[in-house]
Amino acid sequence: MTTWAGEAGVAPILRQMDAPPPPQPRWLDAAEQETWLALVGVLIRLPAALDAQLQRDAGISHFEYQVLAGLSMADEHTLRMSDLAAFTEGSLPRLSQVASRLEKRGWVRRMPDPVDGRYTLAILTEDGWAKVVATAPGHVDAVRRLVFDPLNGAQQRQLREIGRRVLAAVDPAGAGRFVPPRRRSGGPDPT
């Protein structure tokens, strides 16, 4: 048996019929799609190439190197784990696992922050510093060969500006700035 819902039952249906259609996706045109696929290729292949070089030449992953490099650039080679996680773009659980591996190798040690015991400090050891000093030249060579050598000065500046703009769109609170820990004077640039 069918019952009549009355006007109250029909009104939502009529409103739906009068509603404008949902907006269509802003599809990429051919040039935008080509640009997007080039960027995706860089996002996938560049980290893999840097990781392969570091694994081959130094026996560490790119993420492990970023942890060591971040600590090497910090005052007193020390950072809170939360700050180091932000620098490496890694989660605290991932960073904790990596820090445990680096501790076993004698390159990092951790301790409670004496200023605020709720935090844990990561400290680069002398052996860790030696690992950065030994690893940095090969890594910088790979970065230069893969990123900077194929570009002229104007293209490098454009890449920097493009990177900043995309980062600002991805993380508006960060204003498109990727800020490394404070730079210590002296020693190799572990970039």
71 and 103 share one domain = yes
Percent of the chain exceeding pLDDT 70 equals: 82
pLDDT, average across residues 88-114: 95
Interatomic CA distance for residues 106 and 101, integer angstroms? 9
Judge whether 171 lies within some domain: yes
Judge whether 158 lies within some domain: yes
pLDDT, average across residues 133-144: 97
165 and 97 share one domain = no
Interatomic CA distance for residues 106 and 91, integer angstroms? 22
Print the domain residue range for 124: 58-135
Judge whether 100 lies within some domain: yes
| Residues in contact with 58: Cβ distance below 8 Å, sequence separation at least 6, in sequence order | 65, 131, 134, 135, 138, 139
Judge whether 26 lies within some domain: no
Q: What's the total number of domains in the chain?
A: 2
Pairing of strands 78-80, 120-124: antiparallel
119 and 76 share one domain = yes
pLDDT, average across residues 139-159: 97
For the chain, the average pLDDT equals 87
pLDDT, average across residues 138-147: 98
